[in-house]
Structure 1
Amino acid sequence: MGAQRIGFLGLGAMGSGMAKRLLAAGFPVSVYNRTTAKAQALAEHGAVVAPSPGEAVAGADVVLLSLATAEVVEELLFTSGALARAGAGAVVADMSTVSPAAAQASAARVRAAGFGALDACVLGNARHAGDGELRFMIGGDESDVDKARPVLEVLAKEIVHLGPNGKGATAKIALNLIMGVQMQVLAEAVVLGEAAGLPRGRLIEMIAASGYSSPVMRFKSGVMARRAFDRPDFRLSLMRKDLRLAMDQAADLGVSLPATAASLEVLTAAVEAGHGELDCAAILLQVEHG
């Protein structure tokens, strides 16, 4: 049996890295992106660039989604009619960060159409995507995880099946709120130290090397030190969206998240100030001038 055929919708920094990785591993990959130039860039790596979502997923064994919001998932997978064109018995693995309720609702529609459905959420950045070092947190039936595993294993250094649909989305939101709060705290530490006369560069170096740091904080410390906010690895607007999802779920569960709420308030102000398309480390700009 040959390699599974893959239909890939969504070619941002993460999606492009994953698609290249799969092509290099010998999988036949058809891609679609609403911004055509991003899809065309993959043609030289062997991807079939489809003119529509339906063409991209036609006959696919595994459909991968890496999209910004639940609304875009709705548009490309369902409204376009693409889902109906997937191959018989295909598994749809949605790697988008959406609410658990949206993940469950989408999965129910996918299963009703006769396909497998996973919320296959990922931890990592674009470099991890290209190097096959992502961590997958998955909700869905174990049999569907097994069907998609040959594809996921090319992309991942860890695959964790957490239970039914919605559990992968829940884990992603819980972990992403840590990043959002970390960026806020990092920015505040830099602004406080600099206001007190500490050299910005030296302070950031000490934070990054300290026991208080983490891999993501070390990475984003460098972004803040260089003020390289216009080459986003993860857009500030998406960070705000993810913390909003966390607060919405907390409200549904009757859980209080005061640190997350405070970070969301500053992220919202940063988006309103025009920083939404910058890297999430640009929260520093809002803390500096807010």
Structure 2
Amino acid sequence: MTTPTVALLGTGAMGAGMARNIAAAGIPLRVWNRSTDRARPLAESGAKVCDSVAEAVDGADVVITMLWDADSVEQTLREAAGSFAAGAVLLQTTTVGVDGAAQLDKVAAELGLVHLDAPVLGTKGPAEQGNLVVLASGPEDARDRVDAVLEAIGSRTLWVGGAGAGSRLKLAANAFVLSLTGAVAQSLALTRALGLDPQLFLDALAGGPLDAPYVRIKGGAMLAEQYAPAFGIEGGVKDADLILEAARGNDLDPVVLQAVRDQLVRVLEAGHTDEDIAAVYRDYTG
């Protein structure tokens, strides 16, 4: 397995954890972030912190993007036009949706990059632990060029087809995540409304076929009113909008997700912009 030189663009909650694991694997790494101060701590992990996108990607074999949306990815990549190594691989891990993946496929072609569309399942904790699940898609002949990177950032990589298939599967996965979060909040609120301790709902599921670590984590956060963002509400609404657009564009009525999205928006409008999607529970409790 050849060790690539990697440029990682975007060192927020997800990107920082990914960067540390890439550096820990002994892979040469440059990092860039729009706010350079957020990237500087990664120098302690062995990454070279760059002041410009062009500096970061110059000579890099693999360019990873972990940003906000398709437009921010496109803008960032275009800032480095002319600085990419010939035939460098774009490992695009941002959640961008169906149209966004197609948009970035065109941008990659214009810039001479090989596009691997590879959004990830997992939040800040799994990113820090190297336990992301990568939903990878793209040309088969480019896959071995990113093996070392994928091993560093994830516990498992699922190759799902041509570029864009990963983003489509990510929408289905996030529809489940958001809907499940909303369902847990609803059941806890209903338990309380019926005059019972809502913890009893989680206790009833414990150890049975309906139990899941995610249910316990989000449910516990709701009951403790601890909403430090692992998957922030603004990101949840952004992803919900991508899912709704894709579903309706394929003649599917995503009624459950629409309801959860509306709840998240109400919580956002109440001022809880820096909280986790688990704060959807506030829609019941105030």
**Alignment TM class, shorter chain as reference:** over 0.9
**Which among 197, 215, 227 is matched to residue 217 of structure 1?**
215
> Is this contact kept in 2: 1:208–1:217, CA < 8 A?
no
- What secondary structure does 2:128 align onto? helix
Q: Distance in 1 between matches of 2:30 and 2:174?
A: 29
Q: Distance in 1 between matches of 2:206 and 2:55?
A: 46
- What secondary structure does 2:118 align onto? strand
| Paired AA for residue 74 in structure 2 | E
TM-score by length of 1: 0.92
**Which among 254, 257, 266 is matched to residue 263 of structure 2?**
266
> Is this contact kept in 2: 1:122–1:137, CA < 8 A?
yes
Consecutive unaligned residues in structure 1, runs of 5 or more:
none
Answer yes or no: is 1:169 the counterpart of 2:171. no
- Residues 57-99 of structure 1: CA distance to partner in whole angstroms, max 9, x if unpaired? 1111100011111221122112x2x143122221001100011
Aligned to 2:283: 286
> Is this contact kept in 1: 2:21–2:152, CA < 8 A?
yes
Answer yes or no: is 1:94 the counterpart of 2:119. no
> Is this contact kept in 2: 1:22–1:154, CA < 8 A?
yes
Aligned to 2:41: 41
- Give 1:205 deviation, angstroms: 4.0
Does the C-alpha gap of structure 1 residues 54 and 160 become closer, same or farther in structure 2, counting only changes over 3 Å? same
Aligned to 2:246: 249
Runs of 4+ in 1 over 4 A off after TM superposition: 207-210
| Paired AA for residue 139 in structure 2 | D
TM-score by length of 2: 0.94
Aligned to 2:27: 27
Does the C-alpha gap of structure 1 residues 210 and 35 become closer, same or farther in structure 2, counting only changes over 3 Å? farther
- Give 1:209 deviation, angstroms: 4.7
Instruction: Quote the sequence identity (%).
Output: 33
Aligned to 1:74: 74
Q: Distance in 1 between matches of 2:81 and 2:279?
A: 37
> Is this contact kept in 2: 1:100–1:169, CA < 8 A?
yes
Aligned ranges for residues 98-177 of structure 1 at < 5 Å? 98-177=96-175
Q: CA RMSD in A?
A: 1.8
Consecutive unaligned residues in structure 2, runs of 5 or more:
none
Q: Distance in 1 between matches of 2:176 and 2:85?
A: 38
- Give 1:37 deviation, angstroms: 2.5
Q: Distance in 1 between matches of 2:206 and 2:185?
A: 12
> Is this contact kept in 1: 2:93–2:117, CA < 8 A?
yes
> Is this contact kept in 2: 1:20–1:130, CA < 8 A?
yes
- What secondary structure does 1:163 align onto? coil
Aligned to 1:52: 52
- Give 1:117 deviation, angstroms: 0.5
Q: Distance in 1 between matches of 2:273 and 2:6?
A: 32
> Is this contact kept in 2: 1:57–1:83, CA < 8 A?
no
- Give 1:202 deviation, angstroms: 4.1
> Is this contact kept in 2: 1:142–1:161, CA < 8 A?
no
Q: Distance in 2 between matches of 1:20 and 1:256?
A: 40
Aligned to 1:64: 64
- Residues 134-179 of structure 1: CA distance to partner in whole angstroms, max 9, x if unpaired? 1111221111222212211222222122111211100001100101
- Give 1:207 deviation, angstroms: 4.2
| Paired AA for residue 249 in structure 1 | A
